[in-house]
Amino acid sequence: MATRHSEEFKRDAVRIALTSGLTRKQISSDLGVGMSTLNKWISIHRDTDIVSTQDQNLAKENERLRQENRLLREERELLKKATIFFADKSK
């Protein structure tokens, strides 16, 4: 039997999907709904005002910071390897 979800639940799921930075697979699993169901809700509610401009701006900033964080981690790992390499060369 299909589970009926309230409109508020659907709107919250769409807001989370559009702003959290998580994959839709993670979100659907966490919420206990199917991927196709979540995708349908997103397509229905995408053009509505579920996600405020402020939430959209925060989501963009979060994504930018995630990318910057990823880059900094990669650079740090490279510098660690370079330090070990040059430390071995100087012996």
pLDDT tens-digit series, residues 29-72:
999 999 999 999 988 877 666 667 777 788 788 889 989 999 99
For the chain, domain boundaries: 7-89
**Tokens coding 35:** 């991927």
Confidence (pLDDT) at 2? 63
Residue 33 and residue 3: Cα distance in Å, rounded? Answer: 9
If one looks up domain 7-89 in CATH, what number appears? 1.10.10
**Is residue 1 over pLDDT 60?**
no
Q: Where are the alpha helices (DSSP H) in 4-52?
A: 7-19, 24-31, 35-45
Confidence (pLDDT) at 31? 92
